[in-house]
């Protein structure tokens, strides 16, 4: 199965922008997109959030869901929110880190969204997102799901990753490069072919959705433990957010809390996915004991090293809020 990307065009932007007009004076309509294809694991909770807003906000607030990357390509979503082409979006921080590098730190979050709110972390994030991205960070709606390495070659310890050709995204380039991996840039839509032709010997991806993409057909092993957090969040254009009335906020805020509460679903979803992969013949390579703990520590150390190098002013602040206190 392939993912096909369409280039962002003036016509597409005009189509999205045309959805901006309110249907009636008292009802505000927000334009929304997802950085991920509709109805996939990374979009379903955003779509439930939209359903909740639209069912509880009749006559007050409505969200017009334009769709996924067919409306605006994945790596253009952040800029579309910043500029106001869309009002609200579902996106991974790493996909708009080109606007400000601090966004990539969200993948390193080791606390729950609720803990982050209680600690003042959301406020700290929004001071940065407001100033640098013209965005309001609203909610994290895809949590408890680490990245994994999926391989078609058996190894027994982390040091054997050195020299392997693994498809990466910028999200974990620093970590895998530090392990001596030959990192290869391949678009998600080309991963199947890259595996088939031996261009890569594996790839990094969340545990969920490899069946949706057909990659299980070319995958033999999953490495445990996983690392980082497959963060997906709801972000909103700051100007649009500031224009919300108290009545509109009274619709939006409970829907955000509802969507954030759906994160618990991923614990069950991921357990089901593990069984599905095992039934499909995908074997687990498990780094045990101290070796496994060091693998994860190295992932976070290299990740934070990269963030702080690119964002020396705010990197340490974000680490204080996002890193595990244990």
Question: What confidence tens digit (pLDDT) does each residue in 78-88 have?
Answer: 999 999 999 99
The pLDDT score that the predictor gives to residue 326 is: 54
Domain with 310, as residue range(s), is: 147-228+270-322
CA nearest neighbour of 142 among 3, 235, 15, 210: 235
DSSP-assigned letters across all residues of 151-166: ESS--SSGGGGTT-EE
Domain assignment present for 35: yes
> Is the CB of residue 218 less than 8 Å from the CB of residue 205?
no
CA nearest neighbour of 122 among 245, 254, 260: 260
Domain match, 166 and 181 both: yes
Q: What share of the chain is helix, strand, coil (3-state, %, to 5)?
A: 50, 20, 30
Domain assignment present for 5: no
Domain assignment present for 4: no
Residue 115 CB neighbour total at 10 angstroms: 13
Domain match, 305 and 172 both: yes
Domain match, 187 and 243 both: no
Domain match, 98 and 246 both: yes
Domain match, 206 and 216 both: yes
Domain match, 239 and 294 both: no
Domain match, 111 and 248 both: yes
- Beta-ladder partners of 237: 135
Domain match, 212 and 293 both: yes
Domain match, 299 and 222 both: yes
The pLDDT score that the predictor gives to residue 4 is: 42
DSSP state, 8?
Answer: -
Q: Which helix (H) or strand (E) holds 127?
A: helix 121-133
Domain match, 196 and 261 both: no
Instruction: Please state the pTM of the whole predicted model.
Output: 0.85
* Helices and strands counted in the chain (H then E): 12, 11
Q: Report the alpha-carbon distance of residue 85 to residue 211 in Å, rounded.
A: 33
Domain match, 291 and 198 both: yes
State the total domains in the chain. Answer: 2
Domain assignment present for 311: yes
> Is the CB of residue 33 less than 8 Å from the CB of residue 66?
yes
> Is the CB of residue 2 less than 8 Å from the CB of residue 191?
no
Return the sign of the alpha-carbon dihedral for residues 111, 116, 118, 120. positive
Domain assignment present for 107: yes
Query: 10-residue block means of pLDDT along the chain (326 residues)?
Result: 41 47 71 92 93 98 96 94 98 94 95 92 97 98 90 96 93 93 87 94 90 92 95 96 98 97 87 95 97 96 96 97 80
Domain assignment present for 209: yes
Domain assignment present for 3: no
Domain assignment present for 80: yes
Q: Which helix (H) or strand (E) holds 193?
A: helix 191-197
| CATH number, domain with residue 219 | 3.40.190.170
CA nearest neighbour of 8 among 83, 65, 68, 70: 70
Domain match, 102 and 204 both: no
């Amino acid at each position: 199965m392939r993912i096909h990307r369409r280039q962002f065009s003036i016509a597409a932007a005009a189509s999205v922008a045309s959805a901006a007009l309110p249907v009636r004076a008292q009802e505000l309509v927000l334009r929304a997109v997802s950085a991920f294809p509709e109805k996939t694991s990374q979009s379903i909770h955003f779509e439930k959030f939209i359903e909740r807003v639209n069912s509880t906000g009749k006559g007050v607030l409505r969200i017009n869901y334009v769709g996924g990357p067919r409306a605006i390509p994945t790596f253009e979503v952040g800029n579309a929110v910043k500029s106001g082409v869309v009002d609200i979006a579902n996106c991974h921080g790493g996909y708009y880190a080109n606007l400000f590098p601090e966004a990539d730190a969200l993948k390193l979050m080791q606390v729950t969204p609720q803990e982050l709110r209680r600690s003042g972390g959301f406020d700290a994030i929004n001071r940065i997102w407001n100033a640098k991205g013209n965005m309001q960070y609203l909610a994290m709606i895809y949590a408890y799901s680490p990245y994994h390495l999926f391989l078609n070659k058996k190894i027994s310890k982390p040091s054997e990753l050195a020299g392997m050709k693994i498809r990466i995204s910028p999200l974990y380039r620093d970590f895998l490069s530090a392990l001596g991996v030959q990192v290869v840039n391949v678009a998600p839509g080309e991963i199947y072919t890259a595996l088939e032709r031996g261009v890569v010997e594996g790839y990094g991806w969340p545990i969920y959705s490899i069946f949706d993409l057909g990659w299980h057909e070319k995958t033999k092993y999953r490495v445990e433990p996983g690392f980082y957090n497959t963060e997906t969040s709801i972000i909103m254009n700051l100007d649009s957010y500031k224009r919300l009335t108290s009545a509109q906020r009274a619709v939006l805020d409970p829907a955000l809390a509802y969507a954030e509460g759906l994160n618990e679903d991923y614990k069950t979803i991921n357990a089901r996915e593990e069984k599905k992969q095992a039934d499909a013949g995908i074997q687990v390579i498990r780094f045990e004991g101290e070796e496994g703990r060091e693998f994860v520590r190295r992932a976070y150390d290299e990740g934070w090293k990269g963030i702080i190098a690119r964002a020396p002013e705010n990197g340490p602040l974000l680490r204080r809020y996002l890193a595990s206190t244990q």
